[in-house]
Amino acid sequence: MTTGLRGILQILSILLSTPSDPSSLILPVLFETDHLAVVAKPPCVACHRTEIKTTRGRNRVYSSGKDENGMHILKRAPFPHHQNIHLVHRLDAVTSGCLLLAFSSVACRQASEALANRGQKTYYSLCRGHGQGLRDRGGPFIVSGDVKDSKGIKRQAETEIEGLWGSSKPRRCCLVRSRPRTGRWHQIRQHLGRENFPIVGETRHHKDIGENRAWKEILDELGIQQRAVSSLSSTKIDGDLGGLVENGKLDVKCPLPFDMRTMISLTDWAKEAQNSLPELFETYPTTIKA
C-alpha cells in the first residue's frame, strides 16, 4: 500500500464518515412526503436503548434512542417543521441503511403495519468465509429456526439468504444478501452465524477474535475505522400506504457506507459486485449543518 493511496483513503474516511461532533451530523434524506420519510442511518448511531462497555470493563447504559454521545437519533433528522417524529422500525447500532420515519402516530402505525405485512427489507452483509457453501445452494434459500431475543427467550424466525461472491483475499470473506421474513432481534446475525458464515466483526453470536483482529489490522493500515459491515440497502412496501405515499407504494434504496465499500474494494470480486449492484456503490449521501 503506497503512502499516497493511504493518505487519500484517510482523507475520504474523514469526509465520508460520521463527524467527531455528533451534533453536526444530519441524517441524509432518501425519500420524503408530508407523512413520512426515509433517511440514511449511518453506522454507530443507535435507535434504541444501548449498553456500551467502557475501557474499565464497566457497562454504561444510555437512555432510549440515544447513541454513545448521548445524541438522540431523531435529533439528527432534518425535519424542523415537524414537531413529532416517530421511528417506524429500528436498526442495530452498527447497521447502516434505510430508516423509515413517520411524522404522526397515525402514519407510524399505518406504515409499521404495512412494513410488517407487505414490506421487504434487503440487507447486504460482509461475512467470514469464502461463501462457497452458500453459493452451492444455487440461489436464495430459507433459514428457519429459533433465535434468541434480547432476554434469551427463543422465537421462531425465517430469513432468506443468498451468497453472492466470495474469496480468500485479503481474508476469507463473502457478500451475502438477506431478506428477513420475520422481525426478530439480531435475526440475520444469528442465522448467518448458524450457517457458519457470521458477519465480519461479530462478537456476540459467533465470536472469532483472531479473524476480527486480522481485519482490524488491515483497516488500521488503510487508516479506516470499521463501523459497519451490514447495511439495509432497500426498503420496499407494496400497497396499503394510501395517503402516505403516491400509489400507496414505497421503494427506497441506500448505498453502502464508506467503510463497508472500502472493505469490499480490497477483494478480488469487488469489480463484479460493483457492475452487478451499482446502486450499492454510489456516493454515500452525507449532509453536514452549516
Higher pLDDT, 136 or 247: 136
**pLDDT grade for 226, boundaries at 50, 70 and 90:** low
pLDDT above 90 covers a percentage of the chain that reads 33
* Rounded Cα gap, residues 196 and 76, in angstroms: 36
Residue 272: predicted pLDDT: 95
Residue 128: predicted pLDDT: 87
Residue 138 has pLDDT above 50, yes or no: yes
pLDDT mean over 227-240: 82
Residue 228, C-alpha cell as written in the block: 459497519
Residue 233, C-alpha cell as written in the block: 440497502
Residue 53 has pLDDT above 50, yes or no: no
Higher pLDDT, 252 or 23: 252
pLDDT mean over 33-40: 92
Other Cβ atoms less than 10 A from the Cβ of 79: the count is 17
Which range scores top for mean pLDDT: 80-84, 109-113, 197-201?
109-113
38 neighbors 31 (Cβ within 8 angstroms)? yes
Higher pLDDT, 278 or 19: 278
Residue 59: predicted pLDDT: 32
Which range scores top for mean pLDDT: 30-44, 193-207, 219-233?
30-44
Strand partners, 145: 157
Residue 254, C-alpha cell as written in the block: 441506500
Other Cβ atoms less than 10 A from the Cβ of 216: the count is 14
Residue 212: predicted pLDDT: 73
* Rounded Cα gap, residues 26 and 18, in angstroms: 10
Residue 204, C-alpha cell as written in the block: 456476540
Residue 222 has pLDDT above 80, yes or no: no
Residue 199 has pLDDT above 60, yes or no: yes
Residue 180 has pLDDT above 90, yes or no: yes
pTM: 0.81
Residue 208: predicted pLDDT: 66
Q: Which of 40-44, 136-140, 177-181, 225-229 has the lowest mean pLDDT?
A: 225-229
Give the DSSP H or E segment for 106: helix 105-118
Residue type, position 105, single letter: S
Query: Closest Cα partner for 259 from 34, 37, 42?
Result: 42
Higher pLDDT, 88 or 92: 88
Other Cβ atoms less than 10 A from the Cβ of 247: the count is 9
Helix (H) and strand (E) counts for the chain? Answer: 7, 14
Q: Which of 58-62, 208-212, 262-266 has the lowest mean pLDDT?
A: 58-62
Q: What are phi and psi of 122, to 5 degrees?
A: -120, 120
* Rounded Cα gap, residues 109 and 84, in angstroms: 14
Query: Closest Cα partner for 25 from 6, 7, 43?
Result: 43
**pLDDT grade for 97, boundaries at 50, 70 and 90:** very high
CB proximity list for 114: less than 8 A, separation 6 or greater = 237, 239, 240, 241
Residue 7, C-alpha cell as written in the block: 493518505
Residue 227: predicted pLDDT: 60
Residue 247: predicted pLDDT: 83
